[in-house]
Amino acid sequence: MEEILTIVIPCKNEESNIRRVLLELKQQDIGNTAIILADAKSTDKTRVLASTSALELNLNLRIVDGGMPAVGRNTGARLAKTPYILFLDADITFTSQYAIQEAIDCIHNRAIDMVGTTPRYKGEPDVRAWILFRLNLLVTWYLSKTQPFAIGGFTLVKKTIFKKLGGYDERVTQSEDWLLSRQVKPSKFLLIPDLITQDNRRFKQYGYWKMIKLLLTNFINRKNLGHFYKDVGYFKKS
């Protein structure tokens, strides 16, 4: 993977996750693969922990200034010099030590332009979170039949395709991951379920019912691009 893949992780105040996700990457046996951490002015120990962890784990990590998730991902992508880019979020865990290799093999051998996944819930017992993850799974599978749906938590894409699509739309306030992936031809998109897990922290931060409302309104307005330019407070800019 050393010469074909760059991993981009946008983040802000991820001191509780950054060392763990870097350790997860080490266990994926990624060799000297470049990892670009696009940090949005973290006020905690994210940068320090990332630097010390990368040194300890012998990972090829570069920390750059980021911004909102779309900005951070685009910044990292512009620095990538490899044919494939893998976008990850700092709060994910892999369900297999071969998750990245599986995605690489698919995009490399099957003439696919983009690989996405559906996250599995992993965390404290939480019925509401479990239901929301299942709802996300159903919506993702449904939309991907006609409009590919990749999440920012794990999106593998050919760099040439990423540039052709114009990268992530930095004007939207949420769902920039889906707005990018839906431009890919369905025949060139592959959805591999359960490559990663996530916990319920985003639901706690944003609110469970607000999250349900957001998912439903996004689905209803999926053909109305203007809807996604409205700031619903999903990401904190400060």
Q: What is the mean pLDDT of residues 155-182?
A: 94
Strand locations in the chain, DSSP E?
Answer: 5-11, 34-39, 60-65, 84-88, 93-94, 114-116, 120-121, 154-158, 189-191, 196-198
Q: How confident is the model at residue 173 (pLDDT cuts 50, 70, 90)?
A: confident
Q: Report pLDDT for 228.
A: 81
Alpha-carbon distance of 79 to 227, in angstroms, equals 31
Taking the mean position of all CA atoms in its chain, how far away is CA 93? Answer: 12
Residue 190, beta-bridge partner list:
115
Q: Report pLDDT for 235.
A: 61
pLDDT, greater one: 214 or 57: 57
Residue 90's nearest CA partner among 43, 49, 127 is 49
Q: pTM (2 decimals)?
A: 0.91
Alpha-carbon distance of 113 to 100, in angstroms, equals 15
pLDDT, greater one: 211 or 151: 151
Share of the chain above pLDDT 90, in %: 65
Whether the CB-CB separation of 158 and 113 falls below 8 Å is answered with: yes
Taking the mean position of all CA atoms in its chain, how far away is CA 198? Answer: 11
Lowest mean pLDDT among 28-42, 148-162, 191-205: 191-205
Q: How confident is the model at residue 11 (pLDDT cuts 50, 70, 90)?
A: very high
Q: Name residues whose C-beta falls within 8 Å of residue 180's C-beta, 6 or more positions apart in sequence.
A: 150, 155, 162, 165, 167, 168, 169
Is pLDDT at 238 greater than 50 in this prediction? no
Q: Report pLDDT for 96.
A: 95
Is pLDDT at 205 greater than 90 in this prediction? no
Crossing angle (nearest 10°) for helices 127-144 and 208-220: 10
Alpha-carbon distance of 47 to 44, in angstroms, equals 8
Q: What is the mean pLDDT of residues 17-36?
A: 95
Structural domains present in the chain: 5-229 (3.90.550.10)
Mean residue pLDDT across the chain: 90
